Structure 1
Amino acid sequence: MTSSVFSQLILPLSLIIIMFGMGLSLRLADFARVVKFPKAVAVGLVGQMLFLPAVGFLIAAWVLQEPALAVGLVLLAACPGGTTSNLITHQARGDLALSVTLTAITSVLTIITIPFIVGLALTTFADTQVPVELPVPRMMLTLFVITLLPISIGMVLRRIWPVFAQKLEPKISIFGAVFLALLIVIILYEQGDTLAGQITSTGPASLLLNISMMLLGFWMARGFGLNADQSTSITVEVGIQNSTLAILIATTVLGNAAMAIPAAIYSLAMYLTGGSLIVWRRYKLKQQVV
């Protein structure tokens, strides 16, 4: 997969389109909300930028025996939230403005943090089958081109042609969901004979990362006195990561398709847990009305 047209061309271009779509949903005011909601944003950032990678390391060391899978899980934990987290927050009736703000800020910060965290994971879990040398400049450039640049272009387009941007953004969101499903199928298919063993070993780790971080995000939010809507947003942002970005880095920058397995399985898990959260939140809100 790492040498195919799909991973070298189609995957990056598709992710650029998805990030462009995210930019269409953002405004400069989304970044300014840091001042308006400092406590909520701070809780979300600490959960996602500090606790999430730390828990990823712990689970990888505890559950995963294969170094490539361990690095892949940490890579996933290092990624920012994505459009999926915003969608789930919206459906769960959370604070969408807070969700979008956290996604926007972490998408910028992770250009710097992902190379550092992944480099540490490669050193920690390295063996003869996993490359220790990390192309940091290339990774940072890739992250800039794949994430920050298309997001910025999307934001500019929204400011210039807001009506057109609002019509285009939902279509790109649908494209992103369909493409992610296709991506998961391709990755799982290309693993061939090793797939069953990888799913058996990686599935529990990916699900544990997803559930544990959603619970931690919720407990942090409630512990700091945030309201139910804000707590829902932080639960999703801390627990739902941009798995498509993790897959791209694993297959193109790191050149190891096995490292993409945790992200592929995680993509399935996050829709199950995210859907459960949506059902629970709507049930609770319905009870309040009654």
Structure 2
Amino acid sequence: MPQRSIRHGKAREITALLKLPPMLAVGMMMLAASPGGATANLFSYIFKGDLALNISLTAVNSLIAAFTFPLIVNFAIGHFAGDSQQVGLQFGKVLQVFAIILIPVAIGMLIRHYNPKLAGRLEKFVRVFAAVFLVFIILGAIISERENLSRYFYQVGAATALFCLLSLLVGSFVPKLAGVTAKQARACAFEIGVHNSTLAMTIALTLMNNTEMAIPAAIYSIFMYVFAVLFGLLLNKFEPLPEQATA
């Protein structure tokens, strides 16, 4: 998938440019190999991207990641650390990824199919709830990592911030060059710029048993929410969709 190639290329260039320690560099590649996740769909919904496209991209990327994640991580370990250690994505982890993505979507589709009026009434409430939920996620991420923030930010803060910012910008700009609509470009931007950092951290801490590899995903999870919200607000202000411009 082009989206995955863009993410992997940016992560590799950033790690080389900033000369990260080997395990942090591997952690950056683990982050780049992670699919968008349900949070990308949530941002696309809040900021009026093409939600159907975003869900489809996330589902396809998640399926591909089940096979490409071990390959990319093993390549990164060999390239940055010179180690032959192998990692495999367990079947249980694959099921968790699919559950996080597909269960909420399936519930929404069932409600809209069997009771469209109820789905219409719930839409505004769900949009407000999603925005409030994102605020709590941001605060929770900051509070949970408060004791290690200074050390983590010093080690890999610049790399993760740059990776997040470039992912959102490239994810929005490149699709526009291909002639897609504004709503589709927003969906691509959030799919490329919002990674499933929880998946990357889980694999680093459990399958790899390496805390240092999990640091980039932990720091990225903070930048990701803040930058994605600011990015969405800027899009609404400077590149309003037709229905927004006429509202």
TM-score tier by shorter-chain length is 0.7 to 0.9
Which residue of 1 is the match for residue 165 of structure 2? 211
1:99 to 45, 51, 54: 54
Which residue of 2 is the match for residue 134 of structure 1? 86
The reply to whether residue 114 of structure 1 matches residue 69 of structure 2 is yes
Answer whether contact 2:198 2:217 (CA < 8 A) is retained. yes
User: Structure 1 residues 276 and 153, CA, compared in 2 at 3 Å: closer, same or farther?
Assistant: closer
Which residue of 1 is the match for residue 175 of structure 2? 221
Which residue of 2 is the match for residue 143 of structure 1? 93
Letter in 1 for 2:20: Q
Which residue of 1 is the match for residue 2 of structure 2? 46
The answer for unaligned runs of 5 or more in structure 1 is 1-44
Q: Distance in 2 between matches of 1:46 and 1:114?
A: 15
Answer whether contact 1:203 1:265 (CA < 8 A) is retained. yes
The answer for unaligned runs of 5 or more in structure 2 is none
After TM superposition, list the pairs within 5 Å mapping 1:9-28 onto structure 2: none
Letter in 1 for 2:207: V
Where 1:285 maps in the other structure, the secondary structure is coil
Q: Distance in 2 between matches of 1:239 and 1:76?
A: 11
User: Structure 1 residues 249 and 259, CA, compared in 2 at 3 Å: closer, same or farther?
Assistant: same
The alignment yields a C-alpha RMSD, in angstroms, of 3.2
Superposed CA offset, 1:227-267 (max 9, x none): 11111110111111001101101100110111111111111
Letter in 2 for 1:46: P
Q: Distance in 2 between matches of 1:143 and 1:65?
A: 28
Answer whether contact 2:40 2:195 (CA < 8 A) is retained. yes
Superposed CA offset, 1:38-66 (max 9, x none): xxxxxxx412x211112111111221431
Which residue of 2 is the match for residue 200 of structure 1? 154
Count of residues paired in the alignment:
233
Which residue of 2 is the match for residue 22 of structure 1? none
The reply to whether residue 57 of structure 1 matches residue 12 of structure 2 is yes
Answer whether contact 2:49 2:184 (CA < 8 A) is retained. yes
Answer whether contact 2:42 2:130 (CA < 8 A) is retained. no
The offset of 1:157, in angstroms, is 7.2
Q: Distance in 1 between matches of 2:197 and 2:49?
A: 21
Letter in 1 for 2:246: V
The offset of 1:172, in angstroms, is 11
Q: Distance in 2 between matches of 1:91 and 1:152?
A: 18
The offset of 1:175, in angstroms, is 8.4
Q: Distance in 1 between matches of 2:199 and 2:138?
A: 10
TM-score by length of 2: 0.80
The offset of 1:92, in angstroms, is 1.2
Letter in 2 for 1:272: V
Q: Distance in 1 between matches of 2:199 and 2:131?
A: 15
Superposed CA offset, 1:133-190 (max 9, x none): 1133xx2434324323675677777788887xx89xx79999898678656655664x
Which residue of 2 is the match for residue 77 of structure 1? 32
Answer whether contact 1:89 1:96 (CA < 8 A) is retained. yes
Superposed CA offset, 1:98-125 (max 9, x none): 1111111111110001000000011111
Letter in 2 for 1:147: V
User: Structure 1 residues 177 and 143, CA, compared in 2 at 3 Å: closer, same or farther?
Assistant: farther
Where 2:240 maps in the other structure, the secondary structure is helix
Letter in 1 for 2:2: V
Q: Identity of counterpart residues, as a percentage?
A: 29
Q: Distance in 2 between matches of 1:249 and 1:268?
A: 19
Superposed CA offset, 1:162-221 (max 9, x none): 87xx89xx79999898678656655664x5xxx634311311100111111111111211
Q: Distance in 1 between matches of 2:189 and 2:27?
A: 22
